[in-house]
Amino acid sequence: MTFSCGNAESLDTLSKASAEGELIFKKQCALCHGLNGNKQLSGAKKLIESKLSMNEIEALATYGMRQMPSFKERLTIEEIKLVSDYAYQFRESK
């Protein structure tokens, strides 16, 4: 994806995408990770301290790991991308 400065259309799509990512996160992830990415239910890692790349977060959300469930039956690839985007930005809000 490319971002160009001052392009209202791409900014618009971007904020729509993150709003949808936020919605999915609240439904599917906040139970363990908390609304702000700092909760650690059943051993969940703090998302605000995560060092994982976007691709790694997507892979983890798709296939799961130990106590972290797999979401490939529950979310589409597009939704996993959106929610991973959202999960990724917690470290920047710290």
List contacts with ligand HEC (CB under 6 A): 28-29, 31-33, 41-45, 47, 50-52, 57, 60-61, 65-69, 71, 83-84, 87
58 SS3 class: helix
Q: Which of 30, 35, 25, 1 is nearest to 82 (CA)?
A: 25
Q: Determine the Cα–Cα distance for residues 55 and 52; give it in Å rounded to an integer.
A: 8
Q: Given the complex with ligand HEC, which of 12 and 49 has the nearer CB atom?
A: 49
Beta bridge partners of 68: 65
Q: Given the complex with ligand HEC, which of 14 and 46 has the nearer CB atom?
A: 46
Q: Given the complex with ligand HEC, which of 7 and 67 has the nearer CB atom?
A: 67
